[in-house]
Each structure stands twice: as structure tokens, then as C-alpha cells.
């Protein structure tokens, strides 16, 4: 009985060693295949990251252009006498900008917004626009607006987006060539069983 149990024990130990060796072999193969998978996915992930970055850049350009258009339009609407300045009197007509909502937009309140008696476009951009852009509403009776040339803005936007797209296409093309070269090397050197 003892010799039989020793024989069974040694058979089980041998079987256990075989299973452990098989498991180690499978784990090694899995690790190798995981590395291959990561190498194969790297160019795709890189391309996704580049695409995401490009998309974010394009969105930022569009938002900046929209903000610039809004700012030009607002300045032109506020500059009722077309003297390239927004004065206290011109801004005072917009009672919706009155922060205390007393239906009386005083000279002092307007001067606080403008920071002076009048501002040119650059000063408007720096000090006034962000303060009033959320509250500002067009006056319906205002008819002497200086129109913003949206065709020029659209052409500039399109040119900027085309340039960004061309750069991204160039980078993607270079990455794909490198990926194809790596893939050919894998096909030659790494037989998969």
C-alpha cells in the first residue's frame, strides 16, 4: 500500500510539474502576444492622439474666431457714431449692462466698465468685452452699424484649418509608412504558432 501511494504521489507530482510547465509556456506565449498587440496598437493610439490634438486645435481656432467676430460685431454696434471709440454715452444706452438693475445706468457705473471716458477696439478687447459679453443685447433701433466682413473672417478661418489639416495628414502619412515597415518586419521575423 505504501509503495502504491508513493507511486501515485510521484505520478501526481510529475503531472503537476507537466501542468506547471504547460502553464508557464502558455503564460509566456500570452505575454509575447500581448507585447505584439501593444506594438500593433501603438501607431493606432498615436494616430488617435494626433487626431484628438488636431480636433482640439481646430475647435480652439473656431472658438477664437467666433469670439473675435462677436467682439468686432459688438464694438461696431456700440460705436454708434462710428468714431472708432465706445464712449460713456454710447454704452449708457445699454441698461441691460447695469449691474445693480436699478433701471438707471449712471455715468459712474459705465466708467467702471470702460475704465475711462471712452475706449478704442484694443482697449475694448482687453478690459470691456469679457465684462459685458454675457449681459449685452443689441438695441433694435440701432441702424448705423459698421458691418464686420464675415467673408474675410471665413477665408482666414478656412486657411488656418486647411493648414492644420495638411500638417496632420503629413504626420499621419509618416506614421503609417513607419507602421507598415514594422509590420513587414514582424511578418518576416515572428512566426505565430
Task: Pick 145 or 112 by higher pLDDT.
Answer: 112
Residues 170, 137, single domain; the answer is yes
Alpha helices (H) along 79-125: 88-92, 107-114, 121-123
Task: Pick 119 or 163 by higher pLDDT.
Answer: 119
How many domains does the chain divide into? 2
User: Does the pLDDT value for residue 142 go beyond 50?
Assistant: no
User: Does the pLDDT value for residue 90 go beyond 50?
Assistant: yes
Q: Is 39 helix (H, G, I), strand (E, B) or coil?
A: helix
Mind listing the pLDDT tens digit for each residue in 39-48? 999 999 999 9
Q: Is 47 helix (H, G, I), strand (E, B) or coil?
A: helix
Classify residue 45: in a domain, yes or no: no
Residues 24, 110, single domain; the answer is no
Residues 55, 15, single domain; the answer is no
Task: Pick 140 or 83 by higher pLDDT.
Answer: 83
Taking a C-beta distance cutoff of 8 angstroms, is the pair 84, 120 a contact? yes
Q: What's the average model confidence in pLDDT over 155-171?
A: 71
For residue 86, the surrounding DSSP H or E stretch is strand 86-87
User: Does the pLDDT value for residue 174 go beyond 80?
Assistant: no
Q: Which of the residue ranges 35-39, 64-68, 107-111 would you say has the lowest mean pLDDT?
A: 107-111
Residues 133, 170, single domain; the answer is yes
* Residue range(s) defining the domain that contains residue 152: 51-178
Residues 102, 135, single domain; the answer is yes
- Cell numbers found for residue 161: 484649418
Task: Pick 142 or 88 by higher pLDDT.
Answer: 88
Predicted TM-score (pTM) of this structure: 0.49
User: Does the pLDDT value for residue 31 go beyond 80?
Assistant: yes
Phi, psi of 162 (to 5 degrees): -65, -40
Residues 25, 113, single domain; the answer is no
Phi, psi of 73 (to 5 degrees): -65, -45
Taking a C-beta distance cutoff of 8 angstroms, is the pair 88, 107 a contact? yes
Amino acid at each position: 500500500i505504501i509503495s502504491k501511494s508513493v507511486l501515485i504521489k510521484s505520478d501526481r507530482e510529475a503531472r503537476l510539474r507537466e501542468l506547471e510547465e504547460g502553464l508557464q509556456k502558455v503564460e509566456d506565449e500570452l505575454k509575447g502576444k500581448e507585447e505584439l498587440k501593444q506594438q500593433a496598437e501603438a501607431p493606432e493610439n498615436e494616430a488617435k492622439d494626433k487626431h484628438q490634438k488636431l480636433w482640439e486645435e481646430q475647435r480652439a481656432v473656431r472658438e477664437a474666431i467666433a469670439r473675435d467676430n462677436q467682439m468686432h460685431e459688438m464694438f461696431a454696434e456700440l460705436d454708434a457714431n462710428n468714431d472708432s471709440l465706445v464712449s460713456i454715452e454710447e454704452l449708457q444706452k445699454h441698461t441691460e449692462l447695469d449691474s445693480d438693475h436699478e433701471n438707471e445706468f449712471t455715468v459712474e457705473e459705465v466708467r467702471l466698465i470702460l475704465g475711462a471716458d471712452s475706449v478704442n477696439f484694443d482697449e475694448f478687447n482687453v478690459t470691456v468685452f469679457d465684462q459685458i459679453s454675457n449681459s449685452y443685447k443689441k438695441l433694435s433701433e440701432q441702424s448705423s452699424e459698421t458691418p464686420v466682413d464675415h467673408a474675410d473672417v471665413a477665408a482666414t478661418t478656412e486657411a488656418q484649418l486647411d493648414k492644420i489639416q495638411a500638417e496632420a495628414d503629413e504626420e499621419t502619412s509618416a506614421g503609417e509608412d513607419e507602421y507598415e515597415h514594422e509590420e513587414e518586419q514582424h511578418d518576416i521575423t515572428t512566426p505565430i504558432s
